[in-house]
Amino acid sequence: MIIRRLTGLAVAAGLLATTLATPASAAGTTTDLGVSLSYGSSSGDIAVSGGRVFVSAEDRIVVTNAQGDTTGSITGLSGVYGLAAEADGPSLYAAVAGSNQVAEIDTGTLEVKRRIDLPEHPCPTSLALTGARLWVGYGCFDTFQGGFLSLDLAAASPTPAAVGLGLHSAPKVVAAGDTLVLGEVTGVPADLIVYDISGPAPALRGTIDGVTHDQSEVRDLALTSDGARVISAFDTPYRFDTWSTTTLTRVRHYGQSYEAYPTGLAISPGDAYVAGGRDWNTDVTVYDAATGTTVFSEDNPAGRFVTGGLAFSGTTLYALLRGSGDRLHLWRIEDIPQAPRR
């Protein structure tokens, strides 16, 4: 997720109670999650694991079942931002910026199993998971101390292996295969920085230059499963661009330059579909990854799309929306391959 300032959280009573689900469209249902985000908050990441959906909401993580019904919450978290989990993994990882920690949470019991302290690397914000290694984007807003680090999760007490880059704030981090990509979330212009992570330490491949490509403030990134291509959602230009992570060149784009504010991305299992979220326009569009053809595109009246709030689980896509009073809603869009073409 991108970095914004932490402010207070308005929490509705009875979070553990069943919430009302109302039809959003023929594509699925929308559920009120019972919490509100503060104005300008960049909490609101989403992860799916073990038949559950996890949504970060400032001082807690809201938990739903696969149908989107709220089933509980994980509390005691001070400023929780990015989330990461394997589809069937036993653990959920949460970046807890308020306490400079990464929390490891049991996806079955919802108990916090351990907290990994990062006192020398403040404001952990963005997470990416590759096997037993967790990648963390860190750096408080406007300090120019942003960088990334890795944690060996197999170790009893993981020691951070950090790369300080002097970025304005914590970068967006994505990783897959032998590739790690960082995106600058503040500042104009904004670069993508690509690393090879096949060896014992990350090796810089190169930079996709923000000046050359007129890029400002990355909102979200998504990597194909082999790490060969990264898709970007920058504040500008107003489209989703795909880049080769070896040649560092643009190879295609999804959507048009006149469409507004691309703010979220997700790639389906098997890399068949690319989902893009936008602010102040069509909330969610799904593209055939190979052809760029639109297979689904729809607004949801429950609210505006939350930056970075997209996640696939099989052929189901979950989208996070901010409604009236900044109240969070989870939109469950089913059977993406069978969605009508427009």
Could you read off the pLDDT of 38-66 as tens digits, one per residue? Answer: 887 889 999 999 999 999 999 999 999 99
- Residue 149 class from Cβ within 10 Å (0-12 exposed, 13-18 middle, 19+ buried)? buried
Asked whether 127 and 82 are in contact (CB, 8 A), the reply is yes
- Work out the pLDDT band at 262, boundaries 50, 70, 90: very high
φ, ψ for residue 100, nearest 5 deg = 55, 55
Q: How many angstroms separate the CA atoms of 15 and 36, rounded?
A: 12
Give residue 205's pLDDT. 98
Domain annotation for the chain: domains and CATH numbers: 45-170 (2.130.10.10)
C-beta separation of 333 from 297 below 8 A: no
Helix (H, G, I), strand (E, B), or coil: what is residue 271? helix
Block residue for tokens 């709030």? 309
pLDDT of residue 338: 57
User: Is residue 132's pLDDT more than 90?
Assistant: yes
Residues 265 and 232: their CA atoms lie apart, in Å, by: 8
Coil, strand or helix at 269: helix
Give φ, ψ of 13 to 5 degrees: -70, 155
H, E, C per residue of 201-219? CCEEEEEECCCCCCCEEEE
Q: What is the pTM of this model?
A: 0.89
What is the pLDDT at residue 41? 87
pLDDT at 274: 97
Distance CA(200)–CA(145), nearest Å, equals 24
**pLDDT tier at 285, thresholds 50, 70, 90:** very high
Please choose, from the candidates 51, 65, 57, 59, the residue with its C-alpha nearest in 3D space to the C-alpha of residue 19: 65
Lowest-pLDDT choice from 113-127, 138-152, 227-241, 251-265: 251-265
279 touches 290 (CB < 8 A):
no
Q: Say if residue 17's pLDDT is above 50.
A: no
Give me the pLDDT at residue 341, please: 44
| Chain-centre distance for alpha carbon 240 | 15
In Å, what is the CA distance from 342 to each residue of 74, 113, 239, 296, 339? Answer: 40, 46, 18, 7, 9
How does pLDDT run across 215-236, given as a tens digit for each residue? 999 999 999 999 999 999 998 8
Q: Per-residue pLDDT for 26 more than 70?
A: no
Mean per-residue pLDDT, 137-161: 96
Q: Which two tokens stand for residue 119?
A: 């006192």
- 178-216 per-position pLDDT tens digit: 999 999 998 789 999 999 999 999 999 999 999 999 999
